[in-house]
Amino acid sequence: MLAYFLRRLSQSALVLLAMSLIVFLGVYAIGNPIDLLVNPQADEVERVRATVALGLDKPLYVQYWTFLKGAVTGDLGRSFVFGVPALDLILSKMPATLELALFAMVLAVFIGIPLGLVAGLKPDSMVGRGIMAFSIVGFSLPTFWVGLILIMFFAVQLGWLPSNGRGDTVLLFGVPVSFLTVDGLSHLFLPAVNLALFKLSLLIRLTRAQVREAVLQDYVKFARAKGLSPSRVIGVHILKNIMIPIVTVIGLEFGSVIAFAIVTESIFAWPGTGKLLIDSINQLDRPVIVAYLMVIVTLFIAINFVVDMVYSLLDPRVRLGQAAGAGH
């Protein structure tokens, strides 16, 4: 178990290193942030001063080496645009994104899986067909458009919910969260629905497919023959056996929701890391881009680790530490 853990850890470190190098080179290749930051009315002296102040006068490998030295101690550089440490900036906006992502995933899981179950168990009924039609609409509509429609309808026309921003926050274990206040929930609802829609549709279809397959298995026929109640057959036997692919997908999708809630955050002006990332890319604020991607990669690695742990709980045949490709 320890060997397995250490192996995972060293793999993760390699991934992080490769990622930082790629991003560093990539952003360097796009353009020179000085051209975007320095006021065009300023003279050459000012450009040189800014170039030196941001450390951009040094050759690329020196800049990368300085970055690595700092990274080991947790200092991922200072934002060119804001002047504050990049890691602090990202971590201060993480709670907002995590809150939105979690809320969206909760919506997707707790609505998607039950609906998928119903669609799988009654595939030819009106309800089943209706759910499948809804799921097609759900993953076909672009997030951008759905967000605007939600705002138009609920905020502008009906005036029930606010159109942008995050609500009042309270501190929970030192982290500001907004879902514990009514105002916070009202601001959280529309962006979470917008973000959840795609995942919801995905989960409905996946669950349905899995259920269709499981229902034909011998163990289900045997359980029914044994006289078990339908709810026990569905809730214990079928549900548990279809969970592995679903958990995999949830894990992957959760990571992507956190990393790429950019569109939703832009439309709803949700003050999260997605919006920060897109702005930083446009302004070539390299320390923030690199720091953000490092944090996200770390998050993905952690999520995948948790997913693998959950496998071993769900499927007793899975043993961690076997050759790569163990488990389902």
Partner 1 sequence: MMPARRRFTKRVATSFLLCLPLSLGVVTSAIAQTKGRDVSIGLQAAITSMDPHYHNLSPNNSMMLHVFEGLIARDENQKLKPALAVSWKATDDLTWEFKLRKNVRFHDGSLFSADDVVATLKRAPNVANSPSSFATFVKPIIDVKVIDADTIVFKTATPNVLLPSDLASVMIINKAYEKSTTEEFNSGKAAIGTGPYKFGEYVPNQRVSLKANYGYWRGEEPWDKITFKMLTNPAARVAALLSGDVQMIETVPTADIAKLSADKKLSLVDKVSNRVIYVHLNQSTEKSPPFVTAKDGKPLEKNPFRDARVRKALSMAVNRDAIVSRVMEGKAVAAAQLLPDFFYGTSKQLKPVKFDPEGAKKLLAEAGYPNGFAMTVHGPNNRYINDAGIAQALAQMYTRVGIDIKVETMPSSVYFTRATKLEFGYMLLGWGTESGEQGSAMRSLLATFDTAKGMGVTNRGRYSNPAFDKLLAAALVTMDDKKREAMIIQAAEMVMGDVGLIPLHYEVSTWAAAKGLKYTARTDQYTLAMSLKPGN
Instruction: Give me the residues that bind partner 1 (CB under 8 A), please.
Output: 30-46, 49-50, 53-54, 78, 80-84, 89, 92-93, 110-111, 114, 148, 151-152, 155-156, 159-166, 182-183, 185-186, 189, 229, 231-232, 234-236, 239, 266-269, 271, 275-276, 279, 281-284
Nearer to partner 1, 71 or 150 (CB): 150
Stated as kind and residue range, the H or E segment containing 208 is helix 182-215
- Shortest CB 271 distance to partner 1, Å: 4
Type of residue at 61:
Y
- Shortest CB 262 distance to partner 1, Å: 11
Beta bridge partner(s), residue 170: 177
Nearer to partner 1, 112 or 251 (CB): 112
Please give the DSSP secondary-structure letter assigned to residue 320.
T
Type of residue at 95:
P
- Shortest CB 147 distance to partner 1, Å: 9
Q: How far apart are the first and last CA of the chain?
A: 19
DSSP three-state, residue 254: helix
Nearer to partner 1, 230 or 321 (CB): 230
- Shortest CB 235 distance to partner 1, Å: 4
Torsion, CA 86, CA 87, CA 93, CA 97, rounded to 10: 120
Total H helices, total E strands in the chain: 14, 2
Nearer to partner 1, 5 or 46 (CB): 46
- Find how far residue 254's CA is from the centre of its chain: 4
Q: Tokens 């353009």 — which residue?
A: 31
Cα(88)–Cα(78) distance, rounded to whole angstroms? 9
- Shortest CB 17 distance to partner 1, Å: 26
Residue 9: φ, ψ to 5°: -60, -45
Nearer to partner 1, 143 or 304 (CB): 143
CB 104 within 8 A of CB 195: yes
- Shortest CB 269 distance to partner 1, Å: 5
Residues 6 or more apart whose Cβ sits within 8 Å of residue 199: 104, 105, 108, 112, 253, 257
Nearer to partner 1, 39 or 73 (CB): 39
- Shortest CB 308 distance to partner 1, Å: 21
Nearer to partner 1, 217 or 229 (CB): 229
Q: Measuring CA to CA, which residue among 194, 327, 318 is closest to residue 261?
A: 194
Nearer to partner 1, 168 or 213 (CB): 168
CB 305 within 8 A of CB 101: no
- Shortest CB 35 distance to partner 1, Å: 4
